[in-house]
Amino acid sequence: MCRNQAVAASKTTCRGAVICPLFACLAVTTMLVAISNARQAGALAASSSPQVPRCVAESAFFRGLPKDFQWPGPDDALSLRMLREYGAMFVAREGVALPPVLIFPDSNAVGQWQSSVGTESAEIAGIRVRLQTTAMRALVKACEEASKAHVRISPYEPDAAQRSYEQTLELWGRYVNPGLKHWVAKGSLSAVEAERIRKLPARRQVQEILELEERGLYFGKNPSESILSRVAPPGASQHLSMVAFDVKEHNNPVVRSILEHHGWYQTVKSDLPHFTYLGIEEDLLPSRGLKMVRSGGRVFWVPDFECPPTNSAEVPGAP
């Protein structure tokens, strides 16, 4: 956009002149591009705050976030973890509407935002699904290409695309309630404590479940697996943003390749059927702040904003 504006300005400057020296046009272009770059730098600086570590603020991921994005505070460990787990969608382009928060607080917030976003629905393998408009159109094209390649792309389950807040709450409970029952039976939790956790508000319950997992009390499909390997916390799922689609044929590398060709990538290492619409060519993903991670013969694209561990020997005054 900046380049187009600069070229247009150059043409306007030279249009009325009998002679338009090349160096004069280049000077105008250079000046306008410099002004544009300065404005972008100013916007980025304004969006930063002292709570953002320098190693994060200098990352391509941070620079590619929406200008109004609110980085989690230093005491908000839950939001920061959600950004690491599910934050790849915040680099999406091609008309994707990004959610205003990392974690929707309740059903009303989800419903109001979803109703403000352009969506389309389509029947895929006999199941009607709904996504943001650009994501759905890309998925339909992927399905058409898959059909020509004699493979199929179909929903993993009926709720493979858009979900409501209530659905994410129900999915979360499918693991929390059996997990609490398991650890009470094992003597690791009292029945009173389990009931207290069960009745907590969603966000507080998520925090306590993750704290229990830090103690080795896991809530995944088995007692050694994190709950986050199976389900996103209520309000944090990419399905609420309508840019996620769970694919039944996710084990087929041909299917994965076709989806990638149409802007759909795997961004959550622990969720194999899950694909996220980013609308970006693969070779541009690193410049948007995502890093490639290989696992189990697959490629995942995840946020790249880790800070290197502090070496106590290099810190003044450290023992």
Return the number of other C-beta atoms located less than 10 Å from residue 309's C-beta: 6
What value does the mean pLDDT take over residues 96-104? Answer: 93
Helix axes 165-185, 107-115, angle to 10 degrees: 150
Give every CB contact of residue 93 below 8 A, 6+ residues apart in sequence.
278, 279, 280
More confident residue, 225 or 308: 225
Return the number of other C-beta atoms located less than 10 Å from residue 78's C-beta: 18
Domain ranges of the chain: 84-98+114-162+240-303, 165-229
DSSP labels, 212-224: HHHTT---SSSTT
Write the Ramachandran bin of 256: left for phi over 0, alpha for psi from -120 to 50, otherwise beta: alpha
Q: Give the pLDDT score at 3.
A: 41
- Name which of 237, 52, 228 is nearest 160 in CA terms: 237
Q: Give the pLDDT score at 319.
A: 34
Give burial (CB, 10 Å; 0-12/13-18/19+) of 157: exposed
- Among residues of the chain, what percentage have pLDDT more than 90? 66
pLDDT tens sequence across 225-284: 999 988 999 999 999 999 999 999 999 999 999 999 999 999 999 899 999 999 999 999
Task: Identify the weakest region by mean pLDDT among 50-59, 93-102, 281-290, 291-300.
Answer: 50-59
For all residues of the chain together, what is the average pLDDT? 84
Half-sphere exposure of 88 toward its Cβ, with a 13 Å CA cutoff? 28
Q: Give the pLDDT score at 89.
A: 95
Q: Is 60:304 a contact under the CB 8 Å cutoff?
A: yes
Q: Is the pLDDT of residue 313 over 70?
A: no
Q: Is 153:143 a contact under the CB 8 Å cutoff?
A: yes
Give the three-state DSSP class for 232. coil
Q: What is the token pair recorded at 45?
A: 């600086």
pLDDT tens sequence across 50-98: 568 787 888 889 988 887 788 888 788 899 899 999 999 999 987 999 9
Owner of token pair 């389950």? 157
Q: Is the pLDDT of residue 310 over 60?
A: no
- Name which of 159, 166, 169 is nearest 108 in CA terms: 166
Give the pLDDT band of residue 31 (cuts 50, 70, 90). very low
Instruction: Tell me how long the chain is.
Output: 319
pTM: 0.79
Q: What is the token pair recorded at 16?
A: 């009325």
